[in-house]
Structure 1
């Protein structure tokens, strides 16, 4: 069940996800855009605090001894070093990954509530894409439908991002960057999985143009990409409505500003 937030003024900041396969430059481009935002004077609708960047799975190892890290550590151990956290039980792993994303939201509710923009490096979309591919490795159509179903399930216990920025590229270029950065060679099966994930991200984004914005590095350079992220971040601050916990139904209070507002299941 998807919850449509009520569109009256809320004090919260936007929750923005940055998605894409490893090696497309998600962290680099986001930090470049945020550095430029730091140099700009805040407008009347923006808080003084700079946007918060919540690290994705691959950047978090050992950084914070909390529940999210404990769950992620269990997945790493079970996957025996697989870069995509594949331990052989994709459904069980899906629920753990989605639990981590709910935990991540809980840790930033206070920041969002005071109007701060939060960038989530890999949100529920990554879990939907990767786990759908594991469940349907040779059926792109079924993988797309499963990815959409997983997002729908995720939205029943945490709000989806207000804006999802998909950074995409030729999968071979992303693989080359990953191998150079990590100083290791991906085996053919891992490279194939990345290519399939790249294609599924793009197909999934096309099903929800209201939420997704796409940066294709095959046609957009670094300067243009950072500029787009900055512009989308600024525009995402306006028109934000209240958001209630999906399971609470009409009349619940906004999880950010605590106002009571009706919500309509969509």
Structure 2
């Protein structure tokens, strides 16, 4: 759980993650939603864009994972727990890079945050046991929360997994193997179960029942409302009266 301080109405901006399997339409719908917003957001690129567009520590770690995975589209190199910890380190680096922006009250939108790491690695660790995968995903999110605060709001875009696979193959001009397609279906199902277990943080856009226009409007509304009544947040490993990471005010800590 993310440690949140009692001091109300911190001046920080919200940290929002957009999640979902590849091909589900996250980028397209997010862009449509941003066109509806009258305020500017800082966008953090998701993993797929990091190795070619950045030269920082996070991108260097990601290149190591990509090299070890030998071209696997899901960065699977055969050491899922070690990979999970590296991916969490990348997401901590991402947060460090935007702390000044959050402190100034700007909203930050990250493509694929710690939720993707937890869900994908849990599905990889328990390919034949959905309940064990759910428990592991929850445990990995708790572990991620000891590295850095979890997002204030997580927006999951979901759809029929086979449709997402088709979109991803057309977009990337590739054909997934049967094993890769099975993995994507498992991740898609697990994402929905994780979201259902944490309704306070998650908002879900299900493209099986919602059209593009309505989906973009929902995302826009959730992004807009995410900045209301934000509390202060301390570093997960610090005890009270540790200062807020963003506004610097100390307070007695409670757990959200």
With the length of structure 2 as denominator, give the TM-score of the two structures.
Answer: 0.97
Offset from partner CA, 1:120-147 (integer Å, 9 cap, x none): 1000000000101111111111000000
2:122 aligns with one of 126, 132, 143: 132
Offset from partner CA, 1:8-67 (integer Å, 9 cap, x none): 111111000000000011111111111221xx3x5xxxxxxx111111101222211000
2:16–2:153 Cα contact (<8 Å) kept: yes
Cα distance in structure 2, aligned partners of 1:189 and 1:130: 14
1:7–1:239 Cα contact (<8 Å) kept: no
- Are residues 1:4 and 2:4 paired? yes
State how many pairs are aligned: 256
Q: Which residue of 2 aligns with 1:160?
A: 150
1:182 aligns with one of 140, 161, 172: 172
1:223 aligns with one of 198, 213, 218: 213
Q: Which residue of 2 aligns with 1:22?
A: 22
- Are residues 1:64 and 2:54 paired? yes
> Shift in Å at residue 7 of structure 1?
5.0
Aligned residue runs from structure 1 range 168-247, under 5 A? 168-247=158-237
Q: Which residue of 2 aligns with 1:46?
A: none
2:5–2:244 Cα contact (<8 Å) kept: no
2:7–2:251 Cα contact (<8 Å) kept: no
Cα distance in structure 2, aligned partners of 1:178 and 1:252: 44
Q: Secondary structure at the match of 2:193?
A: helix
1:7–1:240 Cα contact (<8 Å) kept: no
Cα distance in structure 2, aligned partners of 1:156 and 1:92: 16
Offset from partner CA, 1:169-219 (integer Å, 9 cap, x none): 000000000000000111111011000000000000000000000000001
1:19–1:26 Cα contact (<8 Å) kept: yes
Q: 1:175 to 1:5 in 2, by over 3 A?
A: farther
Cα distance in structure 1, aligned partners of 2:99 and 2:218: 26
2:4–2:234 Cα contact (<8 Å) kept: no
Cα distance in structure 2, aligned partners of 1:240 and 1:12: 7
Question: Aligned Cα RMSD in Å?
Answer: 1.1
Moved over 2 A (4+): 4-7
> Shift in Å at residue 117 of structure 1?
0.6
Cα distance in structure 2, aligned partners of 1:243 and 1:120: 18
In structure 1, stretches of 5+ residues that fail to align are 43-49
In structure 2, stretches of 5+ residues that fail to align are none
Cα distance in structure 2, aligned partners of 1:200 and 1:7: 35
Cα distance in structure 1, aligned partners of 2:103 and 2:15: 11
Q: Secondary structure at the match of 1:53?
A: strand
1:6–1:243 Cα contact (<8 Å) kept: no
